[in-house]
Structure 1
């Protein structure tokens, strides 16, 4: 088990519906990364938050999955981010957790964003994912999932929540508040990775990506309107000590999600 986990949060502008340009820009941005365990990219990092999946979707043998495996091997780090996946004619906003040796674990976004019509273009996921990585239990979720605390409830004793997003400026205060709420109520580290820039629909994004500890304290600087790699160190020992002193999770309500 690894007691400390080194995280690289990739806050980036996204070229609209252009996987080739987005990966080329990431190739440059990631050049100087060293000695990290996890690299986290935004939601739909190859396309932006597009509602026309058919011409953009890849399959699990596609170029982006291969690119993520190459990066994971090169940096000897897990690479995490969501892309548009076509599975038997259904389209998914799918989070990929790519391990350094190439193993892939997936999570399909459960709460599709009805305000943008995501529920019409994409199939909702049904299963929560808990990744076991270097002795850490990690729960990866996507954007709109952040608003639904029941789905993220820590019944698996996970150590880290990850949210990747395209979360626009008008609702950015909710983003910051809810990330802290999810960390506090689940006694878990929580990382939110948001994009910057303006998409083709005119929606503006200012980042505010961050890492938060199990008590709601910010561990990273808040960076707005800037492409940047933000680093965070998470301590398993600190998490265990606080959970021992403050065993709030033992008093949680018991329920089943259908």
Structure 2
């Protein structure tokens, strides 16, 4: 287990808001204005498919990997001097469509994670290709694992050798299933002995589906540090590495965890 005690605190901003249906330019402008409220943070988290809303019209809406939204993310990361992350519809080099979560750094570099678990009840698996790689990223020495929406229901995909300090879930999780969202997020924090930051949208999409928000940041006990309900805005908190380190030393459940191998 890594020694986290010397790491600085991590200032995290959740952007919970509605989106303009299938209009990337309008959403760029909307989020640009909101991001001004996140100045001074280290990590800014946007919802799933923040440029369009959760749409299955992949062929019409997909951008290339070097498209306008990727450039917008890098511009915002430089402007805010923070990592900015969120997902959008991308056409990959192999021609497939991906629900791709970008991790834009202020130094102009970029990483990404492609959503692994595609929500078949909405037909996502018919329009998108699933990712096959788990990704572990870093900001200020913190180890962060990015995940997207339906991934939350599959705990093995979130689990590693307890080297993750923060799990991120970005989502378009509808009001009808908010009970599952609010119960599974604390479970992921507790079982992984880590922080969880989860961003969901609010409002109604172009298909008439309402979203209740319920974005949150949870500590390693599964207790909320931020719980804005259905409010629109930017919500900021600070994560303590020293508190996480002390808890893992005091309660080293990871030493009794079962080993496993992932198969695809």
- Category of TM-score, reference length = shorter chain: over 0.9
Q: 1:145 aligns with which of 146, 151, 156?
A: 151
Shift of 1:132: 1.8
Shift of 1:177: 0.7
Q: 1:257 aligns with which of 244, 258, 262?
A: 262
Q: Which moved more, 1:193-202 or 1:151-160?
A: 151-160
Aligned partners of 1:130 and 1:91: how far apart in 2?
Answer: 22
Aligned partners of 1:157 and 1:31: how far apart in 2?
Answer: 32
Aligned partners of 2:251 and 2:37: how far apart in 1?
Answer: 39
After superposition, the C-alpha distances for 1:89-137 in whole angstroms (9 at most, x for unaligned) are 1000011111111111111000000000000000000000000221000
Write out aligned runs for 1:121-200 (5 A). Answer: 121-155=127-161, 157-200=163-206
Shift of 1:49: 0.6
Q: 1:61 aligns with which of 59, 63, 66?
A: 66
Shift of 1:154: 2.8
Q: 1:38 aligns with which of 30, 34, 43?
A: 43
| 1:80 paired residue number | 85
Q: TM-score, normalised by structure 2?
A: 0.95
Aligned partners of 1:196 and 1:32: how far apart in 2?
Answer: 18
Q: TM-score, normalised by structure 1?
A: 0.97
Does residue 1:98 correspond to 2:104, yes or no?
yes
Aligned partners of 1:222 and 1:132: how far apart in 2?
Answer: 26
Write out aligned runs for 1:3-18 (5 A). Answer: 3-18=8-23
Does residue 1:118 correspond to 2:132, yes or no?
no
Aligned partners of 1:135 and 1:27: how far apart in 2?
Answer: 27
| 1:107 paired residue number | 113
Partner SS state of residue 180, structure 2: helix
Unaligned runs of 5+ in 1: none
Aligned partners of 1:211 and 1:152: how far apart in 2?
Answer: 16
Aligned partners of 2:162 and 2:112: how far apart in 1?
Answer: 17
After superposition, the C-alpha distances for 1:128-163 in whole angstroms (9 at most, x for unaligned) are 000022100000000000000011113251100000
Unaligned runs of 5+ in 2: 1-5
Q: 1:206 aligns with which of 201, 212, 229?
A: 212
RMSD: 1.0
**After the TM superposition, which segments of 4 or more aligned residues of structure 1 sit over 2 Å from their partners?**
none
Shift of 1:31: 2.2
| 1:245 paired residue number | 250
Q: 1:235 aligns with which of 232, 240, 257?
A: 240
